[in-house]
A and B are shown apart, each in its own frame.
Chain A
Amino acid sequence: MTPAKPSRVLMHVIVAFGALFMMLPFFWMLSAAVKRREDIFVLPPVWIPQDILWGNFVEVWTRVPMAQAYVNSLKIAGTVTVFTLLTSSLAAYAFAKIEFPGKRISFATLMATIMIPSQATLIPVFILMSRLGWIDTHWPLIVPPALTNAFGVFLLRQFFMGVPDDLIDAARIDGANPIQIYRRVAIPIVRPALMTLAIFTFLGNWNAFLTPLIYINSEELWTVPLLISNFQDAYGVESEWGLLMAASSLALVPVLIVYIFAQRYFIEGVALTGLKG
């Protein structure tokens, strides 16, 4: 085959153009974040301002409780991630490797929960949370997602099913108890899937907006998405786009870090969703 068919070159150009197009909104966001207020809507648009101003980033830390929101979001997303890995892998292991009564029906039920819109369970869960006295605390944002992640159970179960039964039997004959088998034999084999789940869980909870919007009032408990939304309401949009875009850029920092270091697991995870669903 000839290395440079015209159609092949065209294809690369189209896809590269598409990728650039996908990234343009980010550039525009960053550009607005480092501009003076009066320069943001100057026409024709200036993509790279002559003098880059970091003032908006400084103001985001001083004028709004960004530092606190950052700590809160990291704390919530981190805690949920750690516990989800544990709880989902336990359930997934049971579903994959142990026979017990009601297994099929409970797995089917768990998978069906993926279809339930969160707005449906919102109201009763809200009332439940208020009975527990958990309104305006971080508990409603941590406890339900930490208990189980249906997608995570599904993903890990696929991987646990690949663990050979012989390996488990051999460990049992060697005198390992079930917990040791789970920890020493099964978990090491599914480590890549755990990594994938960790990324999804962390990002999902870092990005979460509806639950903080409903449960959190106090400023010191705000998460980053809630801060951005409240900030937009409180300061009026018109004049503060630079600050809002700076805050949005800061919200992307952990996302970017995760993406740079772990995009392989992320992409594999997305691909798996379609394959084994």
Chain B
Amino acid sequence: MRMSDRAFVLVLMLPAGVFLSFFVAYPLFMLLRDSFYEVSLFASEERVFVGLDNFIYALTSSRVMGAAGRTLNYTLMALSAEFVLGFGVALLFNAMGRRSEILRTIFMFPLMIPPIVAGLLWRFMLIDNIGIVNHILEHLGIIANSSDISWLGDRDIVLFSVALPNIWLTTSFVALVLYTGLQNIPAELIEAAKIDGASALQRFRNVTVPMLRPVIAVVLIIRGIDAARAFDMIWIQTEGGPRFASEILSIHIYRSMIRYGNVGEASAIATLFMIAMVVISSIAFFTIWGRGTSKT
């Protein structure tokens, strides 16, 4: 019994096709449609067409725009810390060569742990007065009193505090990917620059970074997208509080849909969020990747 190639392709692609139609295309279509209606989660049959009202609400509401600003802030904070630390670690690993293997293994472990556990653990460590972090800071003389910093209670710094578990979990991802990228730069290239009399800093700026550019682009985009839609860690640490100070868009969308049942509003916000993410990551991709290829 022989199967035609065409029938075979259909069989191969069937699960992916079902996935794309039911869990990607259909929901995206519904999302777009719902964003023009006033519709409640609890009575989704009764829908009223409201035109662009939901979008206008999203763009003018101080709560939504506040969440958007915090999303950007949170992402930039987590991403820059992860990138700087991760790049540093990758360079160290690279300089150490094969002997870094055991340390690499230890370093990678946080990457696998459940975000919910990471969030909870950091919440435990950041408790004011009695948390270990403040105790250590007091011990080192950085703060005078262990109640000086209220990590999760102070609206001015809570966004940074909820970024900490994220940084802890994923710096190792950045480090590992960049390390692999560094390993793939031909040694002759660095040697040639050395013979030409380039200093370590010049070699780094003119050989390493341009060669690494595509890898850097991928890392920044993957991590950026992931940080922008972070949910678990923030939810378990603060649920977006105190008074919305750590409420980023993912939390706002979840809350307005599941807790308040405002499907229309939540859909409009989610649509805008998605468009913004695609636009920002495309721009990032083409600037970082594009500059590298045009130079060489």
Tally chain A residues at the interface, Cβ within 8 Å. 86
CB atoms of A122 and B257 under 8 A apart = yes
Q: A44-B135, A144-B23, A229-B236 are in contact. Are A100 and B6 (CB under 8 A)?
A: yes
A274 CB-CB contact with B under 8 Å: yes
Q: Which residues of B are in contact with A by a Cβ distance under 8 Å?
A: 1-3, 5-6, 8-9, 11-16, 18-20, 22-24, 26-31, 34, 41, 44, 89, 92-93, 95-96, 99-100, 103-117, 120-125, 127, 130, 132, 135, 139, 146, 168, 172-173, 176-181, 184, 215, 218-219, 222, 225, 228-229, 231-232, 235-236, 249-250, 253-254, 257-258, 263, 266-267, 270-271, 273-274, 277-278, 281
A270 CB-CB contact with B under 8 Å: yes
Q: Can you list 22 A-B contacts with CB-CB less than 8 angstroms, sorted by A residue number?
A: A25-B168, A87-B16, A90-B11, A100-B9, A117-B225, A117-B274, A120-B31, A120-B270, A121-B31, A122-B257, A123-B257, A123-B267, A124-B30, A125-B27, A177-B3, A210-B231, A225-B117, A232-B120, A248-B121, A270-B111, A273-B177, A275-B180
Picked from B29, B132, B270, the residue with its CB within 8 Å of the CB of A123 is B270
CB atoms of B181 and A275 under 8 A apart = yes
Give the chain A neighbours of B168 by CB distance below 8 A: 22, 25
Q: Which residues of A are in contact with B by a Cβ distance under 8 Å?
A: 8, 11-12, 14-16, 18-19, 22-23, 25-26, 28-29, 32, 41, 43-45, 86-88, 90-91, 93-94, 98, 100, 106, 109-110, 113-128, 144, 147-148, 153, 177-179, 182, 203, 206-207, 209-210, 213-214, 224-225, 228-229, 232, 237, 241, 244-245, 248, 251-252, 255, 258-259, 263, 266-267, 270-271, 273-275, 277
Picked from B11, B146, B231, the residue with its CB within 8 Å of the CB of A119 is B231
Give the chain B neighbours of A26 by CB distance below 8 A: 109
Binding site of A, secondary structure by majority: helix, strand, loop or mixed? helix
Picked from A15, A120, A203, the residue with its CB within 8 Å of the CB of B92 is A15
